Every structure is written in structure tokens, then in C-alpha cells.
Structure 1
Amino acid sequence: MGRRPVHVVGRVIVGLLALALTGCAAPAAPADSALSLGSTAAAAPVALTASATAAARTAKIYSIRTTDATKGVITVIGTLSPAPKTGTRIPLHQWIPSARRWQEVAHGYSSGTSVTIKTVQPGSVRTYRIAVGPQAPYAAAISPMISFKHYVWRGIFKKGLLATGGNATPQFNIVPPKEGPRRAEADLLADKGGYVWGEVNSTGCSFVRNWLGNLTDGTVRTSLHNGRRR
């Protein structure tokens, strides 16, 4: 009776020792594992590379429009997904046909998935895109190109008058740029019973806006004439 407990305890200790040795021996035999699972071990880095390549960011011009036709301001709103780090510099590129290359004309800073970029440009029809640089694990991204017609108000009197005339002391006075930067104001004066006229060079203008006001205490007749020669 006294030996049986000792014999059982001894077996338990041996069993624990065997388990401990087995547990320590498993990771200590990488050579055997490599031999039996060689193809699987070699494929692991390839799988990691594929997953890294799959991480992609997209960029897109959501909106582009002229927001100030007098100054020539273009406002571009872009979307970036996934969102880059807040404050990431996002350039706006414009295609220059004469140089056959892209040129950065402005930039903005990201806020979440959005970026707003403003630039002052002359009237034109150009192609634009936005871009975002690489940020691990994402590679650089460039938006699809978009063509945009940008109209800028040049002022009806920016080119000056081609000719003026009338009778009874006619005067056609264009307001100078410092007083009227829009180049759209002029004073037409003549004595009572007289008249004044002026010919404006509107070549290249897509449209002309006119506002006529009578600042005298009498009756004035006004008219506009399209003098395009056929």
C-alpha cells in the first residue's frame, strides 16, 4: 500500500516531463518543418506582397467651376478615398498643350476625404487632374482627366473703343480701371437734343452684358447694335 502512491506520483512526474519536453521540442525543429512544408513557406511572402499591392487610393475631381468670373477664379473640389492624413498637400495639374506636359497650377490641403483648391486662370479650355503622393501602404494616385471651359469677364471696355461720335458736344468717357476695375462703366454725355455713340471691340467675347441708366432729368433713347460684318 505504501509503494503504490509513490509509483503513481512517479508516473505523473514522468508524464509531465515528457509533455514539457515535447512542448519545447516542437518549435525547436524548423528544419523538419521547412522540409515538409517548403512550398508553403516560400509562398507566404508572395501572399503578403499581393495584399500590399491591393491597397489602393483613388482620387477624383468631384466639382470644377468658375467661382469668380471677374477675377478668373477656378474652384476645384476633389475626393480622396481612403482619406489621406489630414493636411496632405494635393496638387492641381493643368495640361499645357504647347509644352506637351502637365504643370502644377495650384494646390490644396486635404481634410478627411475632401480637398478644395482655388486658382486664378485666364479664360481657357484646358484639361485638369489632381494627384496625391504615396502614403504607406498606399501608392500615389492620380484622378481621371477632366476638360473645363473657363470664362473670364474681361470688361466690355478692356480693349478700348474703336470709334466714337455724335453731335452737340458728344462725350464717351470710359471710367478708368482704378475707379472701375471691371472695365464695364462709361459716361455718355451730350447737350440737349444731341446724341453720342461708340463702337466697342467685342472680338473673342462669348457674351456681353449691358446696363444702361439715365442720370439726367430728361428723356433719353438708347439702342444697341450688333455691327458684325458678314
Structure 2
Amino acid sequence: MGVRPFIGLVVGLSLSVSLAGCAAAAVPAQSALSLQSSQTDAQAAAPTRTVKVTSIRTTDYTKGTLTVAGTLTPAPAAGSRVALQRWSSTAGWQEIGHATPSGGKVTISANQPGSIRTYRLAIGPQSPYAAAASAPTGFSHYVWRGIYKKPLLASGGTGHPQYNVAPPSEAPRRAEAEVLADKGGVVWGDVNTAGCNWVKNWLGNITDGTVRVSLLNGSTVRGSVDMAQETETWLNRQILGVNRLRLQVADVKSGYGPQVATDSMLLCTN
């Protein structure tokens, strides 16, 4: 009879130990849940690469060279390709140039026609970094072009005026013309200069007397020069905001009337 209580005590202790073991087994499971949560947070906070445009400018106004500089943080692997992209409303982002960065800095140049466009720098994915691009940057890219790339808006004058623009087959730059009139006459041509900043005119007087060449914005004279017989000169002016510029040649004193050869360029975004 005295043995049964002892056996009950042993059984009770064994049950307590078993239950305690079960309770202790729950602790690793809680740790595993905490570890999974930490891994999820780490994945959400994956490292990112920052790309930034630091400068954008026209470095050659004749060739139309656009140069964009930027930084990449952190620096990409050696030999990485960084693209200069231009936005198109129909095709999206298009690459117009690329270069290999030096450390975290990159400079890319591309020859482009005059334009007002939006640009960015972009790099593809490199573990552990996803693909990255800079914020879009708008820029007005001015380039020299022939003044007759766009047709004359009008021409006229007095004394049988002739404003003869050289055809593309003879003057592919679309910059050359010859203007003439009878003795005492005037000849003029109106040019579309919307989107342009400067005009430069080389002038050659091939008549037998003095002529006056003028640039006009409506009735306002923007520049004027008198040229003696068989002389050459330049007439250059800033024309920002002038949408219709008149090039005019008038006879001052000659034997058979004004006759001037011109080679004219505009600095434009179009």
C-alpha cells in the first residue's frame, strides 16, 4: 500500500517534465518567426543606386554637340555602360549616346540638331542594385543652321527686286543668297526666326557703289551697315524674341543698283 503514492509521485514528475519540455520547444519557433521578419525588412531595404545629372550644356554650336555630366552613387563596376537618353512622346526614352564612368562620375557627348527636349542618364541593373536613372532634365539646345532651312516668309522691294536663295543642290547648308535691284532700288526678305537667338550674316557687296544692309524687326532697325564698292563685312545681332526678321539691302549710291551676296546663319532650337 505504501508503494502506490511513490509511483504516483514518479508519474506526476514525469508528466511535469514532459509538459515543460513541450513548453521549451516553442521558443525556437518564436525565434524563427523573428528571423523571417528581419529577412523581410532587409529585403525591403535593399540598397539603391542614385543617378544625378550635374550639368548639361551645348559644347559645340556648329556641330550641335550636347554634353551631359553626372554622378552615380555608389560608383558602378569598372567598364559599366551609362546611357544618355532623350524623351520622345511617341517612342519613350531613346538612347542617343553612352560612355564608361570614371569612378562615380560620367560625361557623355552626342551631336544633336537644335531642340528643346528632356534628357536623363541611366544604368542597367548590377547586383545588388536595380536599374537606375536620373530625374528628367529639360534643356534648350541651340545650334547654328542655315537661315533658309525654313522658306522665306515673304520678299519684295522696289526697282525690280530679286531675292535669289541658292538651291539645296548648290548650297546644302541653306545659308546662301544673292539680292539685287535696279539703281535706287531696295530688296528685302522676311525670315522665320522663331526659336532663334542670334543671326550672323557675311555680306559681300558686288555692285559698283555703296549699299546699306539692314536687319529689321517690323519697323525697328536691329542693325545696319553701309558697304563700299567690292567690300566684305559681317552683320551679327542677338534676336531673342524676334519671330520674323527682315534682311534688307538698299542702294545708297551706285551706277546700276544694289547687288549683295549673303551667307547667313541662325542660332536656333529648331
Q: If each structure's helix is expressed as a fraction of its own residues, which one has the higher value?
A: 1
Unaligned runs of 5+ in 1: 1-33
Over the matched positions of the two proteins, sequence identity in percent amounts to: 47
After superposition, the Cα gap between the structure-2 partners of 1:205 and 1:194, relative to the gap in structure 1 and judged at 3 Å, is farther
1:197 to 177, 187, 199: 187
Question: Is 1:80 equivalent to 2:89 in the alignment?
Answer: no
Higher relative contact order (CA 8 A, sep 6+): 2
Q: Give the Å deviation of 1:37.
A: 5.4
Question: Is 1:184 equivalent to 2:175 in the alignment?
Answer: yes
Q: Give the Å deviation of 1:39.
A: 4.4
Superposition pairs of residues 65-104 of structure 1, within 5 angstroms: 65-97=57-89, 99=90, 102-104=92-94
Q: Give the Å deviation of 1:203.
A: 5.1
Q: Give the Å deviation of 1:178.
A: 6.3
| Residue equivalent to 2:137 | 146
Q: Give the Å deviation of 1:64.
A: 1.7
Q: Give the Å deviation of 1:225.
A: 2.2
Q: TM-score, normalised by structure 1?
A: 0.63
Q: How many residues align?
A: 193
CA offset digits 1:26-77 (Å, max 9, x no partner): xxxxxxxx97655445545654665563422110111222334444443222
Q: Give the Å deviation of 1:189.
A: 4.5
Q: In the alignment, is the contact (CA less than 8 A) between 2:50 and 2:72 conserved in 1?
A: yes
| Residue equivalent to 1:206 | 196
Question: Is 1:133 equivalent to 2:124 in the alignment?
Answer: yes
| Residue equivalent to 1:155 | 146
SS in 1 for 2:188: strand
Q: In the alignment, is the contact (CA less than 8 A) between 2:53 and 2:121 conserved in 1?
A: yes
CA distance, structure 1, for counterparts of residue 124 and residue 36 of structure 2 = 26
Unaligned runs of 5+ in 2: 1-24, 219-243, 245-270
Deviates more, 1:81-90 or 1:154-163: 154-163
CA distance, structure 2, for counterparts of residue 208 and residue 156 of structure 1 = 11
The code of the aligned residue for 2:130 comes to A
The code of the aligned residue for 1:210 comes to K
After superposition, the Cα gap between the structure-2 partners of 1:135 and 1:212, relative to the gap in structure 1 and judged at 3 Å, is closer
CA distance, structure 1, for counterparts of residue 111 and residue 35 of structure 2 = 52
SS in 1 for 2:199: coil
CA distance, structure 1, for counterparts of residue 128 and residue 99 of structure 2 = 20
Q: TM-score, normalised by structure 2?
A: 0.56
Q: Give the Å deviation of 1:144.
A: 1.4
CA distance, structure 2, for counterparts of residue 197 and residue 208 of structure 1 = 22
Q: In the alignment, is the contact (CA less than 8 A) between 1:108 and 1:115 conserved in 2?
A: no
SS in 1 for 2:77: coil
Superposition pairs of residues 44-63 of structure 1, within 5 angstroms: 44=35, 47=38, 50-51=41-42, 53-63=45-55
CA offset digits 1:95-146 (Å, max 9, x no partner): 333x4x6321323122222233334444433322222111112222121122
CA distance, structure 2, for counterparts of residue 188 and residue 201 of structure 1 = 14
After superposition, the Cα gap between the structure-2 partners of 1:118 and 1:212, relative to the gap in structure 1 and judged at 3 Å, is closer
Q: In the alignment, is the contact (CA less than 8 A) between 1:94 and 1:127 conserved in 2?
A: yes
After superposition, the Cα gap between the structure-2 partners of 1:185 and 1:144, relative to the gap in structure 1 and judged at 3 Å, is same
